[in-house]
Amino acid sequence: MSKSPRRPLTAYVFLAPAMLLFIAFLALPIVYAIYLSLRTVKVKGLGLGKGAREEVWAGLSNYTRALGDPELASSLLRIGAYGLLVVPAMLGLALLFALLLDSPRTSVKGFTRLSIFLPYAVPAVISSLLWGFLYLPSVSPFHSLADKAGQVLPNPLSSGLIIYAIANIAVWGGVGFNMIVIYTALKAIPTDIYEAAKLDGCSEIAIAWRIKVPIVMPSLIMTFVFSLIATLQVFAEPTTLRPLTNNISSTWTPLMKVYRDAFTRNDLHSAAATSVILALATFVLSFGFLRLVQNRAFSQEGR
């Protein structure tokens, strides 16, 4: 009877650093957040002195309180409207730029590709500061030029336009990354398909719409999921713009509410419960969308 071959240990040696980092900086924090969400602080008397504040088991009470919080509901509705603005505009522009760069008529592709991608390399805090000064009427060059021309520009930081101002920053910074993903998928398409389509009399627009877009659909789905996750995690842009206007509250987004509860109100347990709820919502939305796309693909193949 031959002995079964031993599994090589080399693969596990190379995987060990990544696994340790994953456990230390992702798995353990998630477990600790769940643990905190199930605890609460019980205050005795005036809450002064040793032993006056004690951590006790809270069960699901933190989750019940978080789900019933009107501020969380308002922030979720606000972030939903924000996502409806950002995701279609960002993916639409990314697809458009990728198709234009893939066109044989486009020149200076390297410089153009770098110019579109460059805003993604700018940190969110820096880009928010840059756009914040462009929005602020007292220092904005656009408002200064409009005043000299006798025109009055609307204030992007007003209550009715603030969501568009924040969405513009996200679109400006996110188009480049999504464009690179889609453009990479386009470059992997064999050129024989394009040549056959041209022989059949297809124009560049027809090739783009009927051949390129369907082939890169998996990349579009992936970028949509990434954009959906990023939408639920918006924090840097509104937090950076908040000192410039009174129209951004401390709970403008769900993550801003988590930050306020944890570091302003010193209620780590409620913040942990809200974080777990947001993580579950992100997982459900992402997984649900992928399942929906997969089921539609299977149904079309079965026809």
Query: pLDDT tens across 118-155, in order?
Result: 999 999 999 999 999 999 998 899 888 988 898 888 99
pTM (whole model) above 0.85: yes
Split at pLDDT 50, 70, 90, the class of 297 is low
pLDDT at residue number 1: 47
Q: Is the pLDDT of residue 20 over 50?
A: yes
282: pLDDT strictly greater than 80: yes
Q: Is residue 7 part of a domain?
A: no
Lowest-confidence region among 36-50, 119-133, 162-176:
36-50
Q: What is the pLDDT of residues 186-201, one digit of tens each?
A: 999 888 888 888 888 8
**Per-residue model confidence (pLDDT) at position 259:** 95
Q: Measured in Å, how far apart are the chain's first and last C-alpha atoms? A: 50
| pLDDT band at residue 59 using 50, 70 and 90 as cut-offs | confident
Q: What is the average per-residue pLDDT within 164-189?
A: 94
Q: How confident is the model at residue 7 (pLDDT cuts 50, 70, 90)?
A: low
> CB–CB of 220/91 below 8 Å?
yes
Output the six-digit token pair for 253: 């987004």
Mean pLDDT of the chain: 88
Count up the domains in the chain and report the number.
1
Is residue 23 assigned to a domain? no
Residue 80 forms part of a structural domain: yes
Q: What is the CATH number of the domain that holds 90?
A: 1.10.3720.10
Res 204 pLDDT > 50: yes
- What pLDDT does 11 receive? 82
What does each C-alpha distance from 223 to 30, 83, 127, 245, 255 come to in angstroms?
25, 14, 21, 32, 22
The reply to whether 45 falls in a domain is no
pLDDT tens track for 62-115: 999 999 999 999 999 999 999 999 999 999 999 999 999 998 877 778 888 899
Return the structure tokens found at 224: 């949509």
**Closest-CA residue to 176 (of 221, 121, 106):** 121
What residues make up the domain containing 104?
Answer: 70-302
Say whether pLDDT at 10 is over 90.
no
Q: Is the pLDDT of residue 298 over 70?
A: no
Q: Which residue has the higher pLDDT, 235 or 3?
A: 235
At residue 43, φ and ψ (nearest 5 deg) are -100, 130
The pLDDT, as a whole number, for residue 170 is 96
Q: Please report which confidence band the pLDDT of residue 202 belongs to, taking 50, 70 and 90 as the band edges.
A: confident
Q: Are 15 and 257 in contact (CB under 8 A)?
A: no
Of 263, 269, 264, 258, nearest to 42 by C-alpha is 269
Does residue 159 fall inside a structural domain? yes
Residue 32, in any domain of the structure? no
Report, as an integer, the average pLDDT of 257-285.
92
